[in-house]
Amino acid sequence: MTTAPIIQEIESVIIRFSGDSGDGMQLTGTLFTNASALVGNDISTFPDFPAEIRAPAGTLAGVSGFQVNLANTDIFTPGDAPDVLVAMNPAALAANLADLKSGGVLIINTDAFTDGNLKKAHYKVNPLEDGSLEKFRLHKIPITTLNREAVQDIAGLNKKDIDRTRNFFALGLSFWIYDRPIESQMEWIKAKFKKPEVQESNIRAFKAGYHYGETAEAFQTRYRIAPAQLPPGVYRKITGNEALALGLVTAAVRAGKPLFYGSYPITPASEILHSLASLRNFDVRTFQAEDEIAAMGSIIGAAFGGAFACTASSGPGVALKSEALNLALVLELPMVLVNVQRGGPSTGLPTKTEQSDLLMSFFGRNGESPLPIIAASTPGDCFTMAVEAFRLAVRCMAPVILLSDGYIANSSEPWRIPHPDLIAPIECNHPTNPDNFLPYLRDEAGGRPWVLPGTRDMEHRIGGLSKAPETGNVSYAPLHHQQMVNERAEKVAKLADVIPEQEVFGPASGDLLVVGWGGTYGALRTAVQQAQCEGSSVAHAHVRYLSPFPRNLEKLLHSYEKVLVCEINGGQLSLLLRGRFGVELEQLNKVQGKPFKISEIHARIVDVLKGVR
């Protein structure tokens, strides 16, 4: 007689799926996340994969992981440490075990723990046999064997094909343990795999894992997480890169413009091109250039022609774009350059996150060349800031740099889809009256006229040489150069009059203000909330407008006894704030290719409040 499983209600769980880069852990995590979003949980994810296209199988360099945090409350991060680790081989165990919470659940594919794989993972003895895993709730499952038994009689599949489906066994088991409905997953498999034998093999693998959880004595407790109480609306799961692509298209539609996107593929920005290529029905034109320089040149031409133009890259590619970006600055044409930052310098850490391109955004061009710079803070915020980037570009007639990073680009969260009518139109004017026309005569915002090429009697000189005010003619006159440099700087500074004032989470004054920017938002906000619950007078300011800074930022910084700036770099925003406002700062900096842990920030908050440097 089978005993009905116990259903235990829990508030949240953090699960990490890990295996070789060929084990399908990114897909497993994504599908588990999708199912959790459908039942209404708040979610936050963190995919982590190797930079090598195909590291040797079974090695530490080839480990790929996907962490998902599910909760019935509002959450901001994928969590510091997993409650559950699914390890498909010894390398996955070795790479992730130190992160697993003491007493956490450890699900291991025992079939992969061969002498060869143990050696590749640098294990001298088998951890399944030496007692080193006793502090965890260990489940040793021969996943490969069980999966083969479930799938082996399907005609047309070889052993390699069968073993490719074992990630669905792990997925099915996870669905059972955490009470996820299986109907949507069955429909996804049927829609995804068109070959009958492939479709059937993945369905069987998934069901085998699900039923294993149902019948194994070790899994007679199931866990249920109630839907989160999110603000009402229509939601979808979204990554930062997906949201950014939708934001770029929305900006163009709200301006009545075509969107031209020219880029060269680079991790972690390539997904923006993939997303936009599928949106041609919104008058989107995508161009994969032969290199970064050509990509930048292509959007200059598109902006000159009157389109909304954008390119995206990461640090190495932005370095290559810098000369043409300066040409765009001198031409004073509106366009957007997205920098999805990754670990550097040079090729650095292609698949890991960093915030190390802020100073390059400010100063990585020759001459006096200020530009508007803004930064997204969450995956969903990438949409908002993409629209804002074009709005600012058109207002001051200049390229705008939009900073994202590898963390928020690949992470996902529930995103409430905004009603399009609530997104303000972006007004674009193309003058056609040649009377009293001067190509660099400035409006009240400091921008110049955006005249379309071919407009009769309004032809004008373009190029990178120093210009005379108003006419734009080539001029080497010292005062002309000084005036044009001043005017280009002033129009950027004037944006402070229209961008929002800096918001603060917490008291308007107090003992400590924690300052951050970009993808550190979730960890900072959560750590500050913890400190507030402990009775500390702590607030959080997350800076999204970096050039110019919000007009009230200086006053805010001086409203607290201490200021702590937290960045995934060596202290770049700290340097800018000290130089701009002369404020004393404490710092927390990290350059490990990994995002902040909540615990790291909370510990630093406690130390700063105690006066520990």
Residues 250, 202 within the same domain? no
260 and 166 in a single domain? The answer is no
The pLDDT tens digits of the residues spanning 208-267 come to: 999 999 998 888 889 999 999 888 999 999 999 999 999 999 999 999 999 999 999 999
Residue 567 structure tokens:
């960045």
CATH of the domain at 596: 3.40.50.920
Residue 1 confidence class, pLDDT cut points 50, 70, 90: very low
Q: How far is the C-alpha of 111 from the C-alpha of 28, rounded, in Å?
A: 19
- Residue 494 covered by a domain: no
Do 162 and 69 sit in the same domain of this protein?
yes
* CATH at residue 397: 3.40.50.970
- 247-259 pLDDT, tens digit per residue, is 999 999 999 999 9
Average pLDDT, stretch 364-389? 98
Average pLDDT over residues 35-39: 93
Q: Answer yes or no: do 155 and 179 share one domain.
A: yes
Out of 385, 407, 422, pick the residue that ends a domain: 422
User: Alpha-carbon distance 113 to 67, whole Å?
Assistant: 23
Q: Is there a single domain that holds both residue 217 and residue 354?
A: no
408 and 533 together in one domain: no
For the residues 519-544, what does the mean pLDDT come to?
A: 98
Question: What's the token pair of residue 251?
Answer: 């900006």
Same-domain status, 212 and 254: no
Q: How far apart (Å, rounded) are the C-alpha atoms in residues 15 and 28?
A: 11
Domain boundary among 422, 438, 470: 422
At 53, which CATH number?
3.40.920.10
Average of pLDDT values for 5-11? 91
One-letter amino acid identity for 177? I
458 within some domain: no
464 domain-assigned: no
Q: Structurally, how many domains does the chain consist of?
A: 3
Please check the confidence at residue 2 and state whether its pLDDT lies above 60.
Answer: no
Say if 194 falls within a structural domain. Answer: yes
Write the pLDDT tens digit of every residue in 562-603: 999 999 999 999 999 999 999 999 999 999 999 999 999 999
Picking from 393, 422, 451, the residue at the C-terminal end of a domain is 422
Question: Do 291 and 323 lie in a common domain?
Answer: yes
CA of residue 477 relative to chain centroid, distance = 46
pTM > 0.85: yes or no: yes
Contact present, 439 and 449 (Cβ < 8 Å)? yes
Residue 461 located in a structural domain: no
Please indicate, yes or no, whether residues 271 and 383 belong to a single structural domain of this protein: yes
Cα–Cα distance for residue pair 488/448, rounded to 1 Å? 10
Q: How is residue 249 written in tokens?
A: 């298209």
Which residues span the domain enclosing 274?
Answer: 235-422
**Same domain flag for 216 and 245:** no
Tell me: do 194 and 322 sit in the same domain: no
d(CA 608, CA 613): 7
Query: Do residues 195 and 239 both lie within one domain?
Result: no
Q: How confident is the model at residue 3 (pLDDT cuts 50, 70, 90)?
A: low
Residue closest to 368 by CA, chosen among 395, 329, 320, 319: 329
